[in-house]
Structure 1
Amino acid sequence: MTARWMEEAVEASGLTAPLRFPRDLVAEISQLLPVLVVALPNLTPQAVREWLLRRDIHIPVPRDTNDFHDFHGCMVADAGRGFVFHDSSEGRHEQRFTVAHELSHFILDQWMPRVRAVRVFGEAILPVLDGQREPTPEESLTALFEKISLGPTGELMARDASGHYARREVMESERRADLLALELLAPEALVIPLVKDVSEGEGTGRVVFRFGLTWEVAHAHVHALRCRLRVPRFSIEQFLGVEEG
């Protein structure tokens, strides 16, 4: 069963499952969310920074370090709008997942907190969310009881000197973005019938073919689902009817 937080995220974004796969998220995003998808070759933080500055957009971008050699994409946001960058030099399957992952960050870390706050306070809270004024004592108290954040989102790309994510909340944010990205690209309800009665390898191949994921991402998705469903691993001995010694 899909987690409730994931169902809420899909509903809030409007990105319910399409009729056809592999999914063209880029085409859908422009119609549903205030997000611009930008493809740049050989993506680096510096390239993202320069792209924004040329358009007089001043949003913090992570610094260039050797730890970003695996920099596939990033999301930056300000005042309710987002920019999703991905590396156009990579394969289309890699690009598809990168866009979905970075979009998931926007939905979970920016869009949904904003939707929840407006639902409780109305649009009068937008200047607080955009950093234009401080919340009133009453707004702060209400936010506390409603478990709503009125402050800016923390730095979710922070890494330590070894290149690992610097804080536990950063790791959790990455995990949830991966899970939502998979739900957007290869919904659990559609994947399970493809993988539960076949070997893990065959199931992975089916997911790659239908949903346009890389083999690595598809295999991890299939393996996790089969573990949850308690599907036994394929055994050649069982297939041949040979009893284990």
Structure 2
Amino acid sequence: MADIPRLIFSYVSAIPNLAVHFALDIVDQMCEEGLSLSVEMLHSILHASEENYEYNLVQRIYYLIGCHNVTPTSETFKSMINFSVKMKYFNGAYAMLDGLKKLNISPTSTIYNTTLVGYFRESNIRGAMMVLKQMESEDVKQDSHTYSYLIANCNCEEDITKYGEEMKAAGIQVTKHIFMAPINAYTACGQIEKAKQVVLDKRIPVNSLNEIKGALASALACSGMIWTSTI
């Protein structure tokens, strides 16, 4: 009997095209009969779900965790939150953030960023700010990805400046995404000249300059303009 969970784990791992819901049926039945569900087996099921684009199984997987006393990791939650975001089930993703505390799992900026970007993609600014507020209340430090999402989705110059100053004060490392974010934000705000000025920043690494110029050209094209680099 002790080898059964290992056999299921091997089965799920070896067959990426497995009907994941069938594997969940087996796992659920085994757990009901007293066998333990390991986090490794859970991750294999999550991986198989992702391979088969069966993101809709996330709630069932989350239910298994609660019913069978599985101890998930932050990586487990990252995957489940990512699935919820892809399903546009943002309330579920947000609820999972609360679940971290109940299981004494330390939240990371990556987990919060996954939810944050999902809200922004749906232009749900209120939801994004709700995630940001919870991130701050849990004392999870914002990273370069957090700020790039915040800046890219600003709708006024004042907010772009505010987040830029916060980022600088926090000592956040400047990445290529940090340079791309204000390009998109300034363009959306109609501040075309300021968007163009971003590519003149001397802090831009040489190996990222062409990509950042490309982001500018793309942003301007979306606004019906053409930009020719003279740098």
Larger proportion of strand: 1
In our comparison, the structure showing a higher alpha carbon Rg is: 2
**Larger helix fraction of residues:** 2
The answer to whether TM tops 0.5 is no
Flag the structure with more relative contact order, 1 or 2, with Cα contacts below 8 A and sequence separation at least 6: 1
Per the normalisation by structure 1, the TM-score is 0.24
With structure 2 as the length reference, what TM-score do the two structures score?
Answer: 0.25
